[in-house]
Amino acid sequence: MIQNKWKVLITVAVTTMTATMDASITNIAFPVLTRVFETEVSVVMWVTVAFVLVSTSSMLIIGKIGDMIGRKRIFLAGIVVFTLGLSACALAGSIGQLIFFRALQAVGAAMTISCGAAIVTEAFPPHEVGKGLGSMGVSVSLGFIAGPIVGGLLLDILDWRSIFYVRVPLGVAAFVMAILFLDTDQPKPGKIRLDLLGALISSAGLFLLVFGVSQMREYGPASLRVFLLAGLGLSLIVVFVCFEGRAQNPIVNPALFKDKIFSSAMGGLFLHFVAAPSYMLIIPFYLMVGLGMRASEAGMLMAATSVTTMVFGPVSGWLSDRFGPPWFAAIGAAAATLSFMLMLGFDLQSSPITIAPVFVLLGVGAGTFQPANNSIIMSAVDREHLGTASALIATHRQVGIALGMAVTGTFFSSWKDRYEAGLVLEGFDRTYAAEAAIPLAFHDVVMISIMINLAVVLLSLVPLWTKGEKQEQG
């Protein structure tokens, strides 16, 4: 039976959108959860932190299992676990129960996300992989856009439980679609062997690294807590890399990273998301505190980036299939770099008319870079490693965002306090100093993003240089 690529794409897209929507639709409920459960924001934040930690630390092992026993099985099981997690969260009677059920939900999300790109790659012919991955990217942007809007409406009309139970029908629909449209897994011959020690080391290392860097904003980058947690996490990851080189059935085949094209594309993806939080995290403060916008106004303005990403994703995927993904990955990274450069002109007098085009340009950059980059990665591995490559994409994205959030948040807070104190010493009113310090500190963190994005441009061009070297050798 010939697989219908578009039905497969829609099935994965529905699941991806439901999972992507999860972060934004949950975060907007933090004030309500704080009031309902009569607890501190620092406790409520674990509703998201637990989800990120569990999903990130489990993706690699789940991707490997998908390669071994079949991706459809893992994908279906993930939908079931995620949907049951949604139902359980809606029934939670305490903040502790909600955090626990979110961790359960995260396992389901990891199972679907780690297999999603691999399933789409397998469904599309090699010359259309970019088109498939670019179209799948639309669901990611749609989830980010719909999350705050749907969440805000549900919180106004119903209650906090509704942000979980209204998505249960989507999970049921995705499960039925997956059964109908995804091809049956072909069992691999021979006995299935799993590197349990490698799985334990990688999961623990990623968990401790992400948890450690997430503590940076609260305790500072030089704190003993951050140093021990992140340091131990990095040490375990190093041990994992060394151990995998000698394992009979490694979770991640070290040979993958010996391929310059694969390793450079994966490095570019990681840095792309490390650079993103200067926009994701700091821009809301600039718009709402610096410029005095309402939350709805800031949200609508920032939606320009997601909408543009949604439009350019499929276009970039189609063009990269036709003309080669490295050029479009580099063009996308260059557009993102230019958008951050233009953000250096933002100040307290900037208007939405001047800000919106910069956000659109950032959307063009992200929408052009990500499908092309993912196409390079997935095309660089053979069929039996597609699940691992898909899981590596998701893991690099999650760890990159976590690291970027921690570093950006820490530096922004530190530099903002320094600028604010300096303005007060110069005789400015404290209220004005607090507002004026925001764009100044924002410019500093944007400079970091610019430097990182320039590195992404160079890494995106590595496949072209590698191809030239091979032609010369031939």
Sign of the CA dihedral with 156 first, then 161, 167, and 169 last? negative
Taking the CA of residue 65 as centre, how many other CA atoms within 13 Å lie in the half-sphere pointing to its CB?
18
The pLDDT of residue 472:
46
The pLDDT of residue 415:
86
> In whole angstroms, how far apart are CA 309 and each of 14, 140, 323, 399, 455?
17, 9, 20, 21, 21
**CB 86 within 8 Å of CB 105:** yes
Q: How far apart are CA 449 and CA 456, in angstroms?
A: 10
Backbone angles phi, psi at 459, to 5 degrees: -65, -30
The pLDDT of residue 458:
93
Q: How far apart are CA 112 and CA 79, in angstroms?
A: 7
Cβ contacts of 230 within 8 Å, gap of 6 or more: 208, 209, 212, 213
Fold classified for 252-467: Growth Hormone; Chain: A; (1.20.1250)
Same fold, 1-183 and 252-467: yes
pLDDT by 10s per residue, the chain, length 474:
345 788 888 888 888 888 777 766 776 677 778 888 887 766 777 787 788 778 877 777 787 777 777 778 888 999 999 999 999 999 988 888 998 999 899 899 888 887 777 788 777 777 776 667 777 777 776 777 777 777 777 877 888 898 888 889 988 998 998 888 877 766 565 555 666 677 778 778 877 887 787 777 677 777 888 888 888 888 888 887 777 667 666 667 777 778 888 889 989 999 998 898 888 778 877 887 788 877 667 777 888 888 888 888 778 777 777 778 888 899 999 999 999 999 999 988 889 899 999 999 999 998 899 888 888 888 887 777 777 777 788 778 878 887 887 788 778 888 888 888 888 888 888 888 888 888 898 899 999 999 999 999 999 988 877 754 544 444
- Return the closest-CA partner of residue 276 out of 382, 139, 406: 406
Question: Any idea where the domains of the chain sit in the sequence?
Answer: 1-183, 195-248, 252-467
Tell me which amino acid residue 456 is.
Answer: V
> In whole angstroms, how far apart are CA 271 and each of 76, 453, 455?
31, 7, 8
Token couple for 423 = 């303005």
The pLDDT of residue 337:
95
Second-level CATH architecture of 1-183: Up-down Bundle (1.20)
The pLDDT of residue 101:
92
Q: How far apart are CA 368 and CA 312, in angstroms?
A: 6
User: What global pTM score does this model have?
Assistant: 0.78
Query: What pLDDT digit, counting tens, does each position of 219-252 carry?
Result: 777 788 888 888 888 888 888 777 766 766 666 7
Query: What pLDDT digit, counting tens, does each position of 346-405 carry?
Result: 988 889 899 999 999 999 998 899 888 888 888 887 777 777 777 788 778 878 887 887
> Rounded to the nearest 5 degrees, what angle is found at the Cα of 26, between the Cα atoms of 301 and 438?
45
